[in-house]
């Protein structure tokens, strides 16, 4: 069977109150349309046609792909009009699945069930049962099976304003997602009218056309309302974000992760975990993150594209990005590891220490108020409070090499390029701009002077 997918992504999203196209707003770190595309393409369709409109250039630039085609809906005259624009790009054979670019959590098994319900001969609608169906189009079924049960063919979708009191009691509603034989869908699209108050072409009108043509209208059921909820406002986006994050938190806890509070956890990418991992409140994980066995993440940390090895501890309010942290290392609180930071086993990075594009070998320590950039730090180095590598000359970055067992005193400046030999000691307050020999004490600072009789200036009284 040839499967085609049409994704409607042309809407402006007026209620979002944003210049950004609605489908580019992020959910769980991924644009809404990105979620829909990932699920749709898991079905391996022969063609995926994305209907753009508002902010079309931005949407097309963000999601161009080998098997993706874009068509524009200008002006935007309803859902039926949107799919009409896609019709010429669809093959005549097979099945077409119609999705919404602002319904991001639709699940792959649900879509497979919908395509199977279509079976290349039926119009298949995705439905869901709601405790409060107010405002949704109700699914009205025939009575061939003796009563309006779930096995009877669908006769119509009745909107809230048009429903009778009895029909308003129906709790099965249409989600806006359908699958149809492509040949039949093209025919129905060509017969849609816009004789309504809005002057728009509604995709739901194909149901009446299918019934009139004697084509069976079947359904498939969504697992729950969350996977078919759309986003039309910041409040709805925030609600869906929490639902998604709770799902992700539940999956991690099923894998054995100890989350201090699953309601205060955010994963905006992928998180791979070992055994006995502990994550405190308010942590944000972005990109691809790996946490080894027994890793502990303190409260309010932000970790992006990083690997934290077994037994490492990330103390509160620490930012880690593009870095690797070795087994048993201690980082933070209030530390920052920038891209290219690589910490070996048992390394200690303390409060208000920043590391960028630098490697620290086993047992090295920088415990307070320090900066290490473009540096290679040997084993067991003790790097003093207030010390920095001056790695940038205004045009180029230069490298600092610190040998094993070096002790760098407090408030030192190492002006790169420079090498500190193994076992050397750098006296506190030194500014080092030449290589320091191994095993020796090097001091580079002005001689202390006291000026007798000096008087501090005073402000004139007014």
CA distances from 439 to 366, 406, 424, 431 (A): 20, 8, 4, 18
Q: Enumerate the β-bridge partners of residue 354.
A: 336, 371
Q: Which two tokens stand for residue 140?
A: 């009205």
Q: Which residues contact 446 (CB under 8 A, 6 or more apart)?
A: none
Strands 330-331 and 283-291: unpaired
Q: Which residues contact 99 (CB under 8 A, 6 or more apart)?
A: 5, 6, 7, 8, 36, 40, 106, 111, 177
DSSP string, 352-388: T-EEEEEEE-TT-EEEES-EEEEEEE-TT-EE-TT-E
Please indicate whether residue 300 is annotated as part of the active site: no
Give the separation between CA 203 and CA 80, rounded to whole angstroms: 4
Catalytic residue (one of 25, 81, 319, 368) = 368
Q: Which two tokens stand for residue 390?
A: 């001056």
Helix axes 205-212, 182-190, angle to 10 degrees: 110
Q: Which two tokens stand for residue 98?
A: 């119609």
Tokens 């639902």 belong to 243
Contacts 24+ apart (CB under 8 A), 250-253: 252/279
Q: Which residues contact 329 (CB under 8 A, 6 or more apart)?
A: 309, 312, 313, 343, 344, 345, 346, 347, 348, 349
Which residues have a catalytic role annotated?
368
């Amino acid at each position: 069977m040839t499967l085609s997918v049409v994704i409607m992504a042309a809407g402006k999203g007026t209620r979002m109150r944003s210049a950004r196209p609605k489908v580019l707003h992020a959910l769980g770190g991924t644009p809404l349309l990105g979620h829909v595309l990932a699920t749709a393409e898991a079905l391996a369709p022969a063609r995926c046609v994305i209907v753009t409109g508002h902010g079309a250039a931005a949407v097309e630039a963000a999601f161009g792909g080998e098997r993706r085609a874009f068509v524009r809906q200008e002006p935007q005259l309803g859902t039926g009009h949107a799919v009409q624009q896609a019709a010429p790009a669809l093959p005549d054979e097979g099945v077409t699945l119609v999705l919404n670019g602002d319904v991001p959590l639709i699940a792959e098994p649900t879509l497979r069930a919908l395509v199977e319900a279509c079976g290349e001969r039926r119009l298949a609608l995705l439905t869901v049962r709601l405790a409060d169906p107010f405002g949704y189009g109700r699914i009205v079924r025939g009575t061939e099976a003796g009563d309006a049960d779930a096995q009877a063919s669908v006769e119509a979708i009745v909107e809230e304003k048009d429903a009778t009191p009895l029909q308003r009691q129906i709790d099965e509603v249409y989600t806006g997602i359908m699958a149809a034989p492509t040949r039949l869908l093209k025919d129905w699209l060509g017969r849609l009218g816009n004789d309504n108050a809005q002057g728009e072409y509604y995709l739901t009108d194909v149901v009446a056309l299918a019934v009139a043509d004697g084509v069976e209208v079947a359904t498939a059921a969504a697992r729950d309302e969350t996977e078919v909820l759309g986003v039309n406002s910041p409040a709805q986006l925030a609600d869906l974000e929490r639902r998604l994050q709770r799902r992700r938190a539940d999956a991690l806890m099923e894998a054995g992760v100890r989350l201090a509070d699953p309601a205060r956890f955010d994963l905006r990418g992928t998180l791979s975990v070992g055994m006995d991992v502990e994550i405190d409140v308010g942590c944000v994980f972005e990109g691809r993150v790996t946490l080894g066995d027994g890793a502990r993440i303190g409260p309010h940390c932000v970790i992006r594209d990083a690997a934290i090895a077994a037994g490492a501890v990330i103390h509160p309010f620490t930012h880690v990005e593009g870095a690797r942290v070795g087994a048993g290392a201690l980082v933070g609180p209030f530390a920052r590891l920038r891209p290219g930071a690589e910490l070996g086993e048992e390394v200690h990075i303390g409060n208000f220490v920043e590391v960028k594009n630098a490697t620290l070998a086993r047992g090295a320590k920088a415990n307070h108020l320090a900066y290490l950039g473009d540096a290679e730090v040997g084993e067991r180095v003790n790097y003093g409070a207030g010390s920095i590598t001056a790695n940038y000359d205004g045009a180029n970055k230069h490298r600092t090499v610190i040998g094993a067992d070096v002790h760098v005193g407090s408030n030192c400046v190492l002006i790169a390029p420079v090498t500190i030999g193994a076992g050397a000691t750098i006296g506190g307050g030194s500014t080092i701009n030449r290589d320091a020999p191994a095993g020796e004490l090097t001091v580079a600072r002005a001689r202390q002077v006291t000026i007798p009789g000096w008087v501090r200036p005073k402000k004139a009284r007014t």
